[in-house]
């Protein structure tokens, strides 16, 4: 892939020494040499292995389990079923906080989806546990599985996503449609998609007595999860330690507690030995979340000039029979384009499926996929170039609320991306371009957009006697490069080189860094680290300023500048002293600073905050066979201050590749007779491999944001998914003339 196009980086107004550098990943060498230790790589002494037996029906109840046969198998130590499952301190049928879903932990003999745990077999070896589970010979009383729109139970939800409104209306929709010259309707369905992290969900659970618990597990939200486990097991939060130094992919699925892991922890407590559990690939298709299916309809009213007069986005979103996570797809239409009237509404649909959850740009991905196709159809109906149409309907302020944007360099993203892609001169009509082999060529685009959520976070920075620093926060590097970018932020605040800063993270007894999710980890944990660094410097300056032997004596009111391991008088930078000298003379071995990120609610209310981008796609379609190849993707993104352009580009590439995956590959196929997922494996559930991924380019458009947070950092993790899906579908339409109505796009839809 020709990936490294040089791109300008936004200068940051106040700082600029360390951040902005394209440092390589701190954990990169450990990972590529196989020395990174993942949860299931831990083998404490006396370890037992746990395996879940899972349901093969989608709805009904378990009527028989041959526990005696399983227990008689050599090596099997215990079999847990609803009959002997040890008690929990929190009712698993009751939601526990925002991310605390109802979970199945053998609380009854009911079956609510395929691959639901129905027993846990614990043995001396993994093989014995697997064989024991196979001997259970479970019998069921099965009811018909509810698998789709026609047999699911519809309901009006209280919320979508994690607590977002299910119904949002701005302006007068009827008046908007009445004023329209034409109305364009678009129907899009999106499938169930599974996170499919390379590292399966696993845990090694060790109890010390009955009330101290250590967990090795991949986890996106260490302190939040620690607190939740404490509630489930009825012990103080400080008695739970979660270690998650490395994470082999999370994508949202490792921020939420799940049944199999809780069962393994229960087993370890009951058996008084460490227990390891790792789900098989197939077992990940059920109890650990997925992106829920949607059926979306968009109606756009358009006036004679091509302006949107009304925008109605209706979505039906699938969830399980027992929990309410609904993909917030319709919300994507609330903040993308100007319209005097917008209605976004979601209907729930109960199916016999595992509960969906957040996955790679939850809501925004599915919703913008449908919206961007609808926008393309609208441009088409107006006889306009899709970019021209988007510029005509550009939202100068947040639609509906009228709030100003904290920053929005989307116009620049459009123009930079279009220029790099070569959009100018694109024929308006479809089926106009062919390559030298006779393949139909199409160009399409989509707007990328993602909000900027932040999580409360804390951090600690310690300046040590030798002039180096230790910075600590319970953050998570799940592949995005957090360790590196966060260390850069801390180093900058401390006036040190990143090499002089030791970064500790990935353990739950460090200061809470919030959730590695929502594309908000760098901003949240980064702000806390920045503040901790500044606090440490302020304390050091206080020591020096009060010391008559220091060249900085009396600098208190004037202030100091921290740079290259020295404090300098602000008004006379020639007067300076090194951190090590200050500490040595004052007889201190260290100075400790602390910092918090707490969002300024008034600012968060006053400004509309989004990362923005534009994605351009080229596809080639075989006119006889309908085979689609994406040949080029160009994304231009503006996301405030860029801490590490190398890592950020990598995030954009990843996002765009997932977008390609959404457009052309991913879908779980449910057997309507049984409710079983027929492709619960990585050979039949398709994700893109290298040969599917074309030239991908990411342009980093400079953007300065003075309001989103004091460092001006927005999010980059998920936005790449959002514009890409629509861009590819629209390119397929441009190549073939076929407007698709479902994802992924299939050959049979193009013939
Ligand atoms: Mo995510 S779906 O923000 O981990």
Mean residue pLDDT of the chain comes to: 95
Counting from 1 in the atom list of ligand 1, the atom nearest the Cα of 520 is 3
590 and 613 share one domain: no
Who contacts 385 (Cβ-Cβ below 8 Å, separation ≥6)? 379, 426, 428
Residue 453 has pLDDT above 80, yes or no: yes
Residue 556 has pLDDT above 90, yes or no: no
Render pLDDT for 502-512 as a digit per residue (tens, 0 to 9): 999 999 999 99
Residue 317 has pLDDT above 50, yes or no: yes
pLDDT band at 4 (very low <50, low <70, confident <90, very high): very low
Distance 299 CA to ligand 1 centre (A): 29
Average pLDDT over residues 580-585: 96
392 and 540 share one domain: no
Q: What percent of the chain has pLDDT over 90?
A: 93
Average pLDDT over residues 232-248: 97
pLDDT band at 18 (very low <50, low <70, confident <90, very high): low
227 and 369 share one domain: no
Render pLDDT for 535-552 as a digit per residue (tens, 0 to 9): 999 999 999 999 999 999
Domain boundary among 582, 598, 614: 598
- Measuring CA to CA, which residue among 511, 522, 408 is closest to residue 460? 511
Residue 8 or residue 402, greater confidence: 402
Question: What does the DSSP 8-state code read for residue 30?
Answer: H
> Hey, which of 98, 101, 518 would you mutate to test ligand 1's pocket, going by the most ligand atoms within 8 Å of its Cβ?
518
376 and 445 share one domain: yes
255: Cβ below 6 Å to ligand 1?
yes
Render pLDDT for 521-531 as a digit per residue (tens, 0 to 9): 999 999 999 99
What is the Cα–Cα distance from 184 to 182, expressed in whole angstroms? 7
Distance 719 CA to ligand 1 centre (A): 11
Q: ∠ CA(554), CA(557), CA(559), 5° rounding? A: 90
What is the Cα–Cα distance from 113 to 120, expressed in whole angstroms? 17
Whether residue 180 is contained in a domain is answered as: no
Render pLDDT for 42-85 as a digit per residue (tens, 0 to 9): 999 999 999 999 999 999 999 999 999 999 999 999 999 999 99
247: Cβ below 6 Å to ligand 1?
no
Catalytic site positions: 718
Who contacts 572 (Cβ-Cβ below 8 Å, separation ≥6)? none
Contact 440, 623 (CB under 8 A): yes
Whether residue 568 is contained in a domain is answered as: yes
What's residue 5's pLDDT?
A: 33
104 and 210 share one domain: yes
Question: Which whole-number Å values give the CA distances from 503 to 27, 217, 248, 463, in the listed order?
Answer: 11, 20, 20, 12
Counting from 1 in the atom list of ligand 1, the atom nearest the Cα of 253 is 4
Whether residue 148 is contained in a domain is answered as: no
Whether residue 643 is contained in a domain is answered as: yes
Whether residue 525 is contained in a domain is answered as: yes
Whether residue 706 is contained in a domain is answered as: yes
Whether residue 22 is contained in a domain is answered as: no
Distance 481 CA to ligand 1 centre (A): 15
Distance 253 CA to ligand 1 centre (A): 8
User: 668: buried, middle or exposed (CB in 10 Å: 19+, 13-18, 0-12)?
Assistant: buried
CATH of the domain at 725: 3.30.365.10
211 and 102 share one domain: yes
Cα radius of gyration (the chain): 27
Render pLDDT for 272-281 as a digit per residue (tens, 0 to 9): 999 999 999 9
233 and 380 share one domain: no
Phi, psi of 84 (to 5 degrees): -135, 15
Domain boundary among 573, 598, 623: 598
Residue 601 has pLDDT above 90, yes or no: no
358: Cβ below 6 Å to ligand 1?
yes
Asked whether the bond before 744 is cis by omega within 30 degrees of 0, the reply is yes
117 and 252 share one domain: yes
Q: Which helix (H) or strand (E) holds 573?
A: strand 572-578
Range of the domain at 69: 39-143+197-280
Average pLDDT over residues 677-697: 94
User: Domain count of the chain?
Assistant: 3
381 and 440 share one domain: yes
112: Cβ below 6 Å to ligand 1?
no
What's residue 712's pLDDT?
A: 96
Whether residue 393 is contained in a domain is answered as: yes
Q: Reduced to 3 states, what is the DSSP secondary structure of residue 577?
A: strand
Counting from 1 in the atom list of ligand 1, the atom nearest the Cα of 220 is 4
What's residue 595's pLDDT?
A: 98
pLDDT band at 9 (very low <50, low <70, confident <90, very high): very low
Average pLDDT over residues 137-142: 98
491 and 617 share one domain: no
252: Cβ below 6 Å to ligand 1?
yes
Distance 251 CA to ligand 1 centre (A): 5
Domain boundary among 250, 280, 310: 280
Q: What percent of the chain has pLDDT over 70?
A: 97
646 and 709 share one domain: yes
453: Cβ below 6 Å to ligand 1?
no
pLDDT band at 173 (very low <50, low <70, confident <90, very high): very high
Question: Which whole-number Å values give the CA distances from 736 to 188, 378, 437, 448, 625, in the listed order?
Answer: 18, 17, 16, 24, 12
Contact 201, 254 (CB under 8 A): yes
578 and 619 share one domain: no
């Amino acid at each position: 892939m020709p990936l490294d196009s040089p791109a300008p980086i936004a200068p940051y107004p106040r700082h600029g020494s360390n951040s902005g550098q394209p440092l390589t990943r701190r954990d990169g060498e450990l990972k590529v040499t196989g020395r990174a230790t993942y949860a299931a790589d831990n083998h404490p002494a006396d370890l037992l292995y746990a395996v879940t037996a899972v349901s093969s029906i989608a709805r009904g109840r378990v009527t028989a389990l041959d526990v005696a046969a399983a227990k008689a198998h050599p090596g099997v130590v215990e079999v847990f079923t609803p009959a002997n499952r040890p008690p929990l301190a929190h009712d698993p049928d009751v939601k526990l906080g925002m991310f605390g879903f109802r979970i199945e932990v053998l609380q009854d003999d009911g079956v609510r989806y395929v691959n639901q745990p129905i027993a846990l077999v614990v043995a001396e070896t993994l093989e014995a546990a697997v064989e024991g589970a196979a001997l259970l010979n479970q019998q069921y009383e099965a009811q018909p599985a509810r698998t789709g729109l026609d047999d699911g139970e519809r309901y009006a939800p209280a919320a979508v996503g994690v607590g977002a409104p299910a119904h949002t209306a701005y302006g007068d929709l009827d008046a908007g449609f009445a004023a329209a010259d034409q109305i364009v309707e678009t129907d899009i369905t999106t499938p169930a998609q599974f996170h499919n992290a390379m590292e399966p969900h696993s845990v090694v659970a060790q109890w010390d007595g009955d009330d101290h618990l250590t967990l090795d597990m991949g986890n996106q939200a260490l302190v939040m999860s620690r607190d939740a486990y404490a509630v489930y097991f009825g012990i103080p939060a400080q008695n739970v330690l979660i270690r998650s130094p490395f994470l082999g992919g999370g994508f949202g699925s490792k921020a939420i507690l799940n049944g199999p892991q809780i069962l393994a922890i229960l087993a370890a407590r009951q058996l008084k030995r460490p227990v390891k559990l790792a789900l098989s690939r197939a077992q990940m298709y059920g109890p650990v979340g997925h992106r829920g299916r949607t059926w979306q309809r968009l109606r756009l009213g358009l006036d004679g000039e091509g302006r949107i007069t009304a925008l109605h986005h209706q979505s039906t979103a699938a969830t399980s029979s027992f929990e309410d996570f609904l993909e917030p797809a319709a919300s994507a239409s609330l903040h993308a384009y100007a319209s005097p009237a917008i209605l976004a509404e979601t209907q729930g649909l109960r199916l016999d499926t595992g509960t969906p959850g957040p996955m790679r740009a939850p809501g925004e991905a599915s919703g913008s996929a449908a919206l961007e196709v609808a926008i393309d159809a609208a441009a088409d109906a107006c006889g306009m170039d899709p970019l021209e149409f988007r510029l005509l309907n550009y939202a100068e302020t947040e639609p509906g609320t009228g709030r100003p944007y904290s920053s929005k360099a989307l116009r620049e993203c459009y123009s930079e991306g279009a220029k790099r892609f070569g959009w100018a001169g694109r024929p308006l009509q479809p089926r106009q371009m062919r390559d030298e082999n006779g393949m139909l060529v199409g160009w399409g685009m989509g707007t990328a957009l993602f909000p900027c959520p932040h999580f409360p976070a804390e951090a600690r920075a310690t300046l040590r006697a030798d002039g180096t620093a230790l910075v600590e926060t319970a953050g998570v590097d799940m592949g995005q490069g957090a360790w590196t970018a966060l260390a850069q932020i801390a180093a900058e605040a401390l006036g040190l080189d990143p090499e002089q800063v030791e970064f500790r993270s990935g353990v739950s007894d460090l200061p809470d860094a919030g959730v590695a999710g929502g594309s908000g980890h760098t901003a949240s944990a980064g702000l806390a680290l920045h503040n901790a660094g500044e606090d440490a410097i302020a304390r050091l300056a206080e020591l020096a300023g009060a010391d008559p032997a220091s060249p900085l004596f009396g600098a208190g009111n004037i202030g100091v500048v921290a740079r290259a391991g020295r404090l300098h008088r602000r008004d006379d930078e020639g007067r300076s002293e090194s951190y090590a000298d200050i500490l040595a003379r004052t007889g201190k071995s260290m100075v400790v600073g602390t910092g918090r990120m707490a969002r300024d609610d008034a600012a968060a209310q006053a400004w509309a905050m989004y990362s923005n981008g534009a994605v351009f796609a080229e596809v080639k379609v075989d006119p006889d066979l309908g085979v689609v190849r994406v040949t080029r993707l160009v994304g231009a993104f503006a996301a405030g201050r860029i801490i590490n352009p190398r890592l950020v580009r990598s995030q954009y590439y990843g996002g765009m590749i997932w977008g390609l995956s959404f457009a052309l590959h991913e879908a779980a196929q449910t057997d309507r007779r049984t409710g079983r997922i027929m492709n619960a494996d990585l050979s039949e559930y398709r994700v893109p491999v290298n040969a599917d991924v074309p030239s991908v380019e990411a342009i980093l458009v400079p953007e300065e944001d003075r309001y989103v947070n004091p460092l001006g950092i927005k999010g980059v993790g998920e936005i790449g998914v959002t514009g890409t899906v629509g861009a590819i579908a629209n390119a397929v339409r441009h190549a073939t003339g076929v407007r698709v109505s479902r994802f992924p796009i299939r050959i049979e839809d193009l013939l």
